[in-house]
Amino acid sequence: MKPLHTARRAAALAMVTMLAATACAFEGVNSLPLPGTVGREDGASIFTVELANVGTLESNSPVLVDDVVVGSIRSIGIAGRHAEVTIRVQRGVEIPANAIATVGQTSLLGSMHLELAPPGGERPAGVLASGATIGLDRSSTYPSTEQTLAALSTVVNAGGLGQIGDVVHSFNDVFTGRQSDIRELLGRLDTFVGVLSAQTADILATITELDRFAATVNAQRDVVSRALRDIPPALEALLRQRPRLIEALDALRRFSDTAATVIHSVETDLVANLAHLEPVFRALSDVGPDIGTGLGYALTFPLNQNIIDRGVRGDYMNLFVTVDLTLGRFKRGLLAGTSFGDENAPLVPAPGDPGYDTFYSKNAQGQAVAPPPGVMGPDRLPTGGG
């Protein structure tokens, strides 16, 4: 009996030691470091994998690389809204730096495992350092057997297949007898899609301008709000003045009709007058650059603007002028060559005076020219003063 009692005491002591080692929290056999688990030896690499769904993955579940067990799940915890799995990989095994983690099922009714492998179509690149973390963007979970069967039952059950059958029969009823119309509709849709695709740049430009316009309107929100408050009273005022506006527009119509009638009546004379004014306007256009100079000189007579700008310095100018208004000065100056300045001066006939046609000779152009000195005779030139 003594050996049996000793074995019971040893078993109880081992149980107490195991419970103490697990902090008095026993979560099943898989929560204990089971002997023979890959990756439990010294020098193993430790990694952290973030998973959105761990399925039925448990501690001590295997970690596979190329379908070979290289490690095991150390622990499973929660970090925020996702699971955080700590794995141990046996010493000497290199995990690619571009590896992704996938939770899968070993067989149809088998246990779950965690697979580490590069993305499909890519070659392994680099080495993942111990202590690294594989984030949520590089982890996924294969559908489990339960999920696959549930999805299959949704499709295969009578409700799902019946609905698909109803849809097929409905489409068949719609298409029966309307093949030509549907073919034409598809052709128009193809044309519409082609035109729409050709206008992609214009559509994007329009959307960009609409975005800019919306930003401008948003920046002028106060102005737009004030305008929306002020426009209704203005519209009401216009509505009250509607009879007067209608009357004014009707009067404008009558004036337009009258003006059109007058213009049509005098159209020939108006065109002729405009044609007669053409030489006048052409002459004005020819002397156009000199008109400003002439007007400037008229306003500054007897000095021109050039003398004022260059000869006058300052705000004032000294001008000494002698004005002689005596009769002798007038005769020698302004009245020289006339009978007022010289009583014996011959009078030259003006157009319309007697002897004008015979006094002057004509040049090749038919214009009158003065005769040479000494040719004038008493029959051609009136004598005497007056």
Query: What does the pLDDT profile of the chain (386 residues) look like in tens digits?
Result: 444 455 555 554 555 455 444 444 445 555 556 555 776 778 888 999 999 888 888 888 889 888 888 888 888 898 888 899 999 998 888 888 889 899 888 776 678 888 898 888 788 888 888 889 998 888 888 877 777 777 777 666 655 566 777 788 888 888 888 888 888 889 999 999 999 999 999 999 999 999 999 999 999 989 989 988 989 988 899 899 999 999 999 999 999 999 999 888 888 888 888 888 888 888 888 887 777 777 777 777 767 777 777 666 666 666 677 888 887 787 777 777 777 777 777 666 666 677 666 666 665 555 556 655 554 544 444 444 43
Identify the domain boundary among 250, 265, 280. 265
Can you give the pLDDT at residue 85?
Answer: 92
Q: Of 239, 265, 291, which residue sits at a domain end?
A: 265
In this structure, is residue 274 part of a structural domain? no
Exposed, middle or buried by CB within 10 Å (0-12, 13-18, 19+), for 99? buried
In a domain, 254, yes or no: yes
In a domain, 261, yes or no: yes
**Do 100 and 118 touch, CB atoms closer than 8 A?**
yes
pTM of the model: 0.35
Distance CA 193, CA 200 (A): 10
Kindly state whether residues 37 and 107 are assigned to the same domain: yes
Helix (H) or strand (E) holding 92: none
Q: Please tell me the predicted confidence (pLDDT) of residue 67.
A: 84
Are both 52 and 134 inside the same structural domain? Answer: yes
Do 108 and 33 fall within a single domain?
yes
Domain count for the chain, please give it. Answer: 2
Tell me what pLDDT residue 247 has: 93
* Same domain as 202, residue 133: no
What integer pLDDT is reported at residue 39 of this predicted model? 67
- Among 68, 75, 120, 76, which residue's Cα sits nearest to residue 94? 68
Let me know if residue 329 belongs to a domain: no
Q: What pLDDT is attached to residue 55?
A: 80
Residue 81 within any structural domain of the chain: yes
Looking at residue 373, its pLDDT comes to 53
Last residue of a domain, one of 249, 265, 281: 265
Residue 290 lies in a domain: no
Q: Which domain holds residue 257?
A: 197-265
Using DSSP, how many helices (H) and how many strands (E) does the chain show? 12, 10
List of residues 6+ apart from 133 with CB closer than 8 A? 47, 48, 49, 50
Report yes or no on 107 lying in a domain.
yes
The answer to whether residue 77 is domain-embedded is yes
What distance in Å separates the CA atoms of residue 263 and residue 257, rounded to the nearest whole number? Answer: 10
Q: Which residues contact 122 (CB under 8 A, 6 or more apart)?
A: 98
Same domain, 40 and 137: yes
State whether 140 and 201 are in the same domain.
no
